[in-house]
């Protein structure tokens, strides 16, 4: 059996690296860096987390939707992990920020 030259191995390494990085959620494709795609992915994750929160805790208060709408992608990812072990909404999303009061 003959050995492959380094130039023959490069495409195989590239495919393996792409498969591994894709499985880990690491993307190098410029498509995923586009602002509209990033927003769509963030919105889809927020929708998924909302559904999971509703399944676990029942009807959700309005502050939950406000938090999800204003959250950054890394916050949503963190909440998804907390959702697995938290016993309350506050345990997942942190303390609710009730209605703001005007100080006199």
3-class DSSP assignment, residue 87 = coil
Q: What is the pLDDT of residues 30-40, one digit of tens each?
A: 777 888 988 99
Give me the pLDDT at residue 95, please. 83
In the DSSP assignment, the letter for residue 59 is S
Domain locations along the chain? 29-87
Q: Show the low-confidence residues of the chain (pLDDT under 50).
A: 100-104
């Amino acid at each position: 059996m003959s050995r492959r030259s380094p130039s023959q191995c490069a495409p195989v390494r590239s495919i393996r690296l792409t498969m591994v990085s894709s499985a880990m959620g690491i993307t190098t494709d410029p498509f995923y860096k586009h602002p509209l795609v990033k927003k769509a992915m963030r919105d889809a994750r927020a929708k998924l987390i909302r559904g999971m929160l509703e399944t676990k805790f029942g009807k959700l208060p309005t502050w939950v939707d406000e938090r999800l709408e204003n959250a950054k992608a890394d916050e949503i990812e963190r909440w998804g992990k907390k959702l697995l072990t938290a016993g309350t909404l506050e345990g997942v999303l942190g303390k609710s920020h009730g209605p703001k009061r005007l100080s006199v």
